[in-house]
Amino acid sequence: MDLPRSFTVRESGHRIHNPFTDEKLAALGRALRLEPGARVLDLASGSGEMLCTWARDHGVVGTGVDISTVFTAHARARAVELGVADRVAFLHGDAAEHVSAEPVDLASCLGATWIGGGVPGTVRLLERSLRPGGTMLIGHPYWRRRPETREAVEACYASSVDDFPSLDGQVAEFGALGYDVVEMVLADQDSWDRYRAAQWLTIRRWLDANPDDELAPAMREELTTAPVSYVRYEREHLGWGVFALMRR
């Protein structure tokens, strides 16, 4: 049980595996007005940057669950680096099957709503761990500009234009699921650049160090095509944000 090796190669230089910068992640933590001792569950926690920095900056405690052995190891090391290993724990496992043994104050899934089969299923999954009156975080793409061609749709990692809503459609969907949107922090094109463009340097350095690796031809093809595809399609069409929700 693990992520494809190509994914961990591509994002091995990232601490945040979504189009948020350090500043946006910190802004989200401040916006939520987190209390010391607040209990957090982060499903698909990646390299643990959210839990680790919020434990340092706000005094939260919690658990992250991720399917990647590589990123889970990074998260544990980051907790030690920031001096919060006594406050956060990271489990290697299937986040789609994880429910907290005790209700938490904040339950999150940032950028991995596939674990619930989409937004509605992920909301229902997180509900199972959230205390009454708690806060839920969902990170999800939306269309900044609706693509008009099949090529543009596929370049944005969608199988259909209906895979993602507009921004107002996403907010409306949360309402239809019975939740108030009480905060949001959105990625912008600069933070998208930091996420995507950083992958290209990581891939290039990996290729230089591993020219004979069996993965090298596929990674070479990605580096050749990804920058043009990104600036032509994804940068213009695809948005991403984290939405804070509370049950009505």
What one-letter code names the amino acid at 47?
S
**Residue with structure tokens 């001792």?**
37
Under 8 Å between Cβ of 42 and 89: no
Does a structural domain hold residue 172?
yes
> Residue 151: what pLDDT?
96
> Residue 2: what pLDDT?
87
Does a structural domain hold residue 222?
no
Domain of residue 180, CATH code: 3.40.50.150
Mean pLDDT by 10 residues, the chain (248 residues): 91 96 98 97 98 98 97 98 98 96 98 96 98 98 96 95 96 98 98 97 98 98 98 97 98
Domain span at residue 122 reads 5-143+163-187+240-247
Name the strand (E) or helix (H) holding 68: none
Does a structural domain hold residue 72?
yes
Q: What is the pLDDT of residues 47-100, one digit of tens each?
A: 999 999 999 999 999 999 999 999 999 999 999 999 999 999 999 999 999 999
Does a structural domain hold residue 217?
no
> Residue 90: what pLDDT?
98
Does a structural domain hold residue 148?
no
Does a structural domain hold residue 37?
yes
Helices 216-229 & 189-209 angle (0-180, nearest 10): 150
Domain count for the chain: 1
CA–CA–CA angle 81, 71, 204 (5° rounding): 100
**Residue with structure tokens 């706000």?**
58
Does a structural domain hold residue 208?
no
Does a structural domain hold residue 69?
yes
